[in-house]
Amino acid sequence: MIAVLGILAGCLTTLSWVPQLVRTWRRGNADDISGTYLFTFGTGVAGWIVYGVSKVDIAVIFANALTLILLVCLVGMKYGRTAAPLAQPAQSPVELPEFGLSFERDPRRPADAGTKGRPDEQVRVV
């Protein structure tokens, strides 16, 4: 019975990573996740796997092995994804020659990046 509790607890804590992975995948980057955190956490998880193997504790081994797999996926998204998110159609700049200004959409920021309709957050002066 205690082994079942251990496996259930391990599954729940491990599956808590899935929403972060989905969010990171949809956003197309993991810049807001610390590399130091990922390294430290990964080292700890690897330590738990070694501990589980030494104690022959299947719950500890299984939960931490799955966590390590999900963590490797997140590291891959952080450091391995070099392709830009889906390209947005090019937009012509807005010219205001009477003021000596030209505006264009900031290419580093997706058009739907939560600006709530504020065009000042989507444009830059060139």
Tens digits of per-residue pLDDT, 58-110? 889 988 999 999 999 889 888 886 555 544 555 555 666 666 666 666 666 66
Q: Are 94 and 104 in contact (CB under 8 A)?
A: yes
Q: Are 116 and 92 in contact (CB under 8 A)?
A: no
pLDDT exceeds cutoff 90 at 48: yes
Cα diameter, the chain: 78
Contacts of 85 (CB under 8 A, 6+ apart): 28, 110
Label residues 54-87 b or e (16+ Cβ within 10 Å = b): eeebebbbbbbbbbbebbebbbebbeeeeeeeee
Q: Which CATH code fits 2-79? A: 1.20.1280.290
pTM for the complete prediction?
Answer: 0.58
Residues of the chain with CATH 1.20.1280.290: 2-79
Tell me which of 31 and 40 has the higher pLDDT: 40
Question: 């999900």: which residue's tokens?
Answer: 70
